[in-house]
Structure 1
Amino acid sequence: MAEAEAQAPNPCSICLEPMAPSEAQRGGSSCAHAFCRSCLEGHVRAKVESGRAANVGCLDATCAGKLDPELCRAALPGDVFERWCAALCESIFVGARRTYCPFPDCSEMMVADDDGERVTQTECQVCRRLFCAQCGVAWHAGADCAAYKHLGRVDTAREDMMVMEMAKGKSWKRCPRCQFFVEKTDGYLHITCRCGNEFCYGCGMQWASHSGCTM
């Protein structure tokens, strides 16, 4: 008789349905409460879908314990378990400075654990390539961040100067609306820029108010 009573099913404290000891699902490592799998799944799913998966407590309202994903795994569909784990991982990074691998074929997100120091040279944990966490580019060996940024500005200025020299040599004109360089390919002075603006290639006046001029 005593053995039969020991094996008698207990009701789930949430839905009150009979629950055999083998069906009871314990979800927390800090408490001994157990529930049926259906109630446990519904509880975790509700937390995940409401955006509160980073803090899933015991189903017992009087318990301050937290559910353990690994203990609950057997009772959860794969997608719910994965979303729960992803939310927990994301919560760890809240407030942390993040950096991303700058290589387009990787773009892995990492936490910049710099302890207040200025971290520059960084190795991507996935593709193992070096990059600068400050500049967000492939590692600029032989130049610090300030020098690299200056070189970038110098290169841009040099390119601009080369374009200006080319425009002068070929007698290109700037569109008075968008400032884009335009080259005349035939004998007409009436130019229609790519922006739609019409102007005189000779004097630069808007074509609608143009009174006529020669090159």
Structure 2
Amino acid sequence: MQCLKQYVELLIKEGLETAISCPDAACPRQGHLQENEIECMVAAEIMQRYKKLQFEREVLLDPCRTWCPASTCQAVCQLQEMGLQTPQLVQCKACDTEFCSACKASWHPGQGCPETMPVTFLPGETSSSAFTLEGDDAPIKRCPRCKVHIERDEGCAQMMCKNCKHAFCWYCLESLDDDFLLIHYDKGPCRNKLGHSRASVIWHRTQVVGIFAGFGLLLLVASPFLLLATPFVLCCKCKCSKGDDDPLPT
């Protein structure tokens, strides 16, 4: 029971899951823990965070609702269902901020949405001034893939979105999904801006190379056995196929 409690608390604290599945990989039902079951295990403040994560996930997946982009407001705004496919004017009832439903910038009638979307802006700001908040030192940015707001208060520049699991560079928003060795921070405008010491980067690369080398060595050792076993496997398949073609006794 204590292990299950720690498992649930870890997922909630890290914000990794809103639907907590059974930790037993051999569970025949592959079910999820109910809210009342979770509430019996964790403290009140952790349960409050779990409900907050659930609500944020619901708003994210609801095409008729969106968050107010003003940095001083955390209200949820309702969209008009008739115009969900096109940008529409949205006015926050809490702070009266008017913004575009598509790009979250200040409302821009008759103009297309900007390619670089501002992350947040204060009530009364124009779209041009809002763009100044998007930069290397901006504390809040959007995931380049799913556009969810992400706040960075500390840590390195290699970010991973908890919503879509996309890895990217905090400074230039370039994808790091395939950059296992973090070569991105060896050159270009983000050079040496990872936030780790050179020794830790070398250690990380050594670990990654070691993992791939281990798999390669394992495959190299196992390949002779696979080659020896191939004729036997093919022979068994031939015998099985011949047996299937034999006519049934009459």
| Structure whose residues are more often strand by fraction | 1
Instruction: Name the one with the larger helix percent.
Output: 2
Asked which structure has the greater CA Rg, the reply is: 1
TM over 0.5, shorter chain: no
TM-score after normalising by structure 2: 0.32
Given the two structures, how large is their TM-score scaled by the length of structure 1?
A: 0.36
